[in-house]
Amino acid sequence: MKNLDEGSVTDKFNRGLRDLRVSVTDRCNFRCPYCMPAEIFGERYQFLPRADLLTFEEIVRVVTASVQLGVRKIRLTGGEPLVRSNIEQLVEMIASVKGIEDIAMTTNAYLLDGMADKLKRAGLHRVTVSLDSLDDEVFQQMNGRGFSTAKVLKGISAAKEAGFDVIKINAVVQKGVNEHTLLELVEWCRENNIVPRFIEYMDVGTLNGWKLDEVFSAAEIVSLINSEYPVEPAGPNYLGEVAKRYRFKDGNGEFGVISSVSQPFCGDCTRARLSPEGQFVTCLFAESGKDLRKLLRHGVDDRELSEEIASVWAVRDDKYSEDRSSMTVPRKKVEMYHIGG
């Protein structure tokens, strides 16, 4: 760990803190089986009361404190971030924090049509849309609500019209569920100048009934795409990039694969996560986090807040994806809907 005044902090594997993913709500209008299965998150499920959520001002304090430690990129997640009222105000507040170079959002885009322009004007740089299939029947099955793709595609169009230059698609690929629709999504992305990223079905949380034999691996994804559209590897855009990039040999775009199951990428992970109620979490597969809300609401000053975050990161030794294969008993993990992907 470096001195706080030097503006950076490293963990036990010498990984710096560069990215903070902020989950602004645990609520979502979808019920994707791999994240928030409807049989568990039904009408009677008790989500966090509003008073327990971090306020926008509290989130910005954590962002500002994290900048002092090296954070330069913020991603807003959920749940579904667009169900948080006035989310564009939070974007504007974060955009005013000196040192933040990039603000992105991951959304299912169901509400994006009416929000895209406001988010762009507020200072949001990039949008990533979760869209597991263009096939309506498959998509309805995977969103757990029976929603068609129409509103999602309308939201993507609105984002393009608002001037977002970089729009990405995240598609979770689950064997026996949607891998047969993957090429259709690739073709649509190529036609619309959108970068798709295909994510191996992961054992995030403990509620999705994850099974290894339902993983359609990164190698299988690349092989399937290459069979129709020849590809070649492309280098990372930056250190710690989650997706392995491939470009189409005909020059018409690229795609990425996120392979946390078959090819873990813990070694250069620079990401931390902030849960809706203020838990600072150092790994997507973590069991728990550091309660920053309690500190914020008991008068901690800015420097003390930075020091608390630094102390958590300095002892970080997370590498769950690399250790998974040697575990004999699965451990309890924070749920993905709670801290974002």
Give the model's pLDDT for residue 241. 80
Segment 278-301, tens digit of pLDDT? 999 998 877 879 999 999 999 999
What average pLDDT score do residues 107-128 get? 97
Segment 189-235, tens digit of pLDDT? 999 999 999 999 876 545 555 567 788 999 999 999 999 999 999 99
Buried b (16+ CB within 10 A) or exposed e, 173-201: bbbebbbebbeebbeebbeeebbbbbbbb
**How many domains, the chain?**
1
Residue 318: pLDDT over 60 = yes
Cα end-to-end span (Å), the chain: 26
- What does the block give as tokens for 22? 């902020």
Give the model's pLDDT for residue 202. 75
Residue 93: pLDDT over 60 = yes
- Residue 114 is classified by DSSP as G
Give the model's pLDDT for residue 80. 97
Residue 333: pLDDT over 50 = no
Residue whose tokens read 């299988």 = 220
Residue 179 near residue 189 (C-beta atoms within 8 A): no
The model's confidence at residue 328, banded by pLDDT at 50, 70 and 90, is: very low
Sheet containing strand 195-200, edge to edge, reads 231-234, 244-248, 254-258, 195-200, 167-173, 126-130, 102-107, 73-77, 19-23, 271-274, 279-281, 290-291
Q: Considering the chain, what percentage of its residues have pLDDT values greater than 90?
A: 73
The model's confidence at residue 1, banded by pLDDT at 50, 70 and 90, is: very low
Please, what is the average pLDDT of the chain? 89
Domain of residue 186, residue span: 4-339
Q: Which residues pair with 172 in a beta bridge?
A: 199
Residue 11 near residue 314 (C-beta atoms within 8 A): yes
What average pLDDT score do residues 129-144 get? 96
Backbone angles phi, psi at 106, to 5 degrees: -105, 125
In terms of average pLDDT, the best of 140-144, 212-216, 315-319 is 140-144
The span from the CA of 214 to the CA of 193, in Å, is: 30
CATH number, residue 239: 3.20.20.70
Segment 260-282, tens digit of pLDDT? 777 765 778 899 999 999 999 99
Residue 339 near residue 23 (C-beta atoms within 8 A): yes
Give the model's pLDDT for residue 286. 77
What average pLDDT score do residues 116-131 get? 98
